[in-house]
A and B are shown apart, each in its own frame.
Chain A
Amino acid sequence: MFQSPVIEVTDLNLTFKTNDGPVNALSKVNLSIEKGDFVSFIGPSGCGKTTLLRVLADLDQPTSGNVLVNGVTPEQARMSKAYGYVFQAAGLYPWRTIGANIKLPLEIMGYSKGEQKTRVAKVLDLVELSEFENKFPWQLSGGMQQRASIARALAFDADILLMDEPFGSLDEIVRDRLNEQLLEIWKSNSKTICFVTHSIPEAVYLSTKIVVMSPRPGRIIDIITSDLPADRPLEIRDSKEFIAVSKRVREGLRTGHSYE
């Protein structure tokens, strides 16, 4: 059966006006993401990967071009709660417990009290934070806080998860564990995930599709479809296939950096 893509970007351009003149953040971006894809956006800073994610989330407006999320505009998609967004910082409110923080979007979206409770319990279980429901953010480690913020984005059944370097500030061991957990969540909940990162191993380990980007102007250099199996133990990173995909990503990034 033919399925239309979950996200479709055509000829997207975005120019920021700054005091030093216009900055071309995104130039002629074309991209199509299918349901159930795990897409990583990788590139050096200033390549527009975060901006692209923000356009999908209706946080930034494109200068020209067309963006469809679930077949509608990003604004309509936002209104219909089509996506959960995980920011680089956990952004938990210090005066709310972990449980109450996860409940926040549910309160805003008008879920019933009982529904809020069951959903919070469910997503806390998903990120293995059930015992911490009544703890305050400052009582949790950075990794646990970020897990809570992922739980919050999952709480309202959005099919799409947009993640902007969610593990960027965490150490490698914690990051590995969270990557494993994220894959679990992705597989068992049939989500579509867009994941911004600047770590090659992270991108290759997680993704079914890797979008390599380059700065000045921000554009897509290469889109790599990974043929790694769906079951990915951490050891897969030593396999030939993994190294081959990593190499292609690295070469893509290098081309982007040579200013011809």
Chain B
Amino acid sequence: MSKVGNRILPIISVVGFIFVFWWGFSIILNSPWAYDQAKRNSVTLSFSELVVETWSQKRPKLPTPYQVATEMWDTTVNKKITSKRSLVYHTVITFSETVYGFALGTGFGILLAIAIVHNRATAMSVMPWVITSQTIPILALAPMIIVALGSAGFNGLLPIAIISMYLSFFPVVVGMVKGLRSPEQLEIDQMKTWSASSSQVLFKLRLPKSVPYLFTSLKLGIAAALVGAIVGELPSGGGAGLGFRMLSGSTFGNTLQIWSGLLSAAILAASLIGFIGVFQRAILKRMALELQ
């Protein structure tokens, strides 16, 4: 078998299993309503009629993959991008919140890691708070951040980006602390024999050496930033974004809207991580560094 086949076959079989279960559960979950309807119209459903009926309901409990795909096609290709009914419109908004929060989180995370590595007091005093920050459910914190920033005059993108940052800085801090501490004793001693200042050690040794750790953190960080952006959209009342789209779908019992929003978020996350992965491979290869 070819190499490509070796890689693709397991993926295809897993996806295949998922689809079989998905369509199967569509029948099971949507059948009560189908039977109900049949009873009301005094008809009895054969199994094949039941299958057709459960797979084509307008408001299914669990839509089939085909229905979700159709919905996604309809709300991306057949709608204007500027329309509030366009999935592209909502995805772009969530994307910009994510990137904004991710940029803030990465910058903050790197600065914090540098402070922690260079100062024992910072390490002892800040690190426990960094960890504590992640034990607080963001769902509880998000509305408070929105309200607080809103009353301070910040509306729109920033409050959501802050929530997104709150989740994404954590993997960056943890990874970068490890990365900045990754130079060996020999390399530190070597720098000392040249009487290098700590900023020279930082820029010429610690930062380059932490690049592999940074990329691993960035991949985790961007995924966390997306979750933060979606959670941040829920209480913000902005009326836009994939989080809002899923929330409104849930409010009105529109499962198609929820599933298509969910899938868009998954595709967005995969693309963002893939994008970082491309940079990761190129830069690490150029620097002749190992993936960490």
Residues in chain A within 8 A of chain B (CB atoms): 54, 57-59, 78-79, 81, 83-85, 87-89, 91, 93-95, 104-105, 107-109, 136-138
Contact = CB atoms under 8 A, between A and B. Distances in A.
Interface in B27-64: none
Nearest to A85: B193
7 contacts: A91-B186, A93-B205, A93-B208, A95-B208, A107-B204, A108-B204, A136-B288
Nearest to A87: B186
B195 interface: yes
Contacts of B70: none
A105 B191 CA distance: 8
A199 to B, nearest CB: 21
Contacts of A88: 186
Contact of A59 (B193, B204, B286, B287): B193
Contact of B189 (A87, A95, A108, A138): A87
A58 B194 CA distance: 11
Given A59-B193, A81-B194, 11 more contacts: A57-B193, A59-B192, A78-B193, A85-B189, A85-B190, A91-B187, A94-B289, A95-B286, A108-B194, A109-B195, A137-B288
Contact of A95 (B187, B190, B192, B289): B289
A109 B191 CA distance: 11
Contacts of B289: 94-95
B195 A81 contact: yes
B186 to A, nearest CB: 5
Given A107-B204, A138-B288, A91 B193 contact: no
Contacts of A91: 186-187, 190
Nearest to B192: A59
Interface in B169-193: 186-187, 189-193
A110 B109 CA distance: 31
B202 to A, nearest CB: 12
Closest 8 CB pairs of A and B: A95-B287, A94-B288, A85-B193, A105-B194, A108-B196, A108-B194, A108-B200, A79-B195
A58 B193 CA distance: 8
A54 B193 CA distance: 10
Contacts of A81: 194-195
A79 B289 CA distance: 31
Interface in B260-275: none
Contact of A78 (B195, B205, B288): B195
Nearest to B191: A108
B200 to A, nearest CB: 5
Interface string B9-32: 000000000000000000000000
A104 B193 CA distance: 12
A88 B187 CA distance: 12
Nearest to B197: A108
A59 B190 CA distance: 9
B204 A104 contact: yes
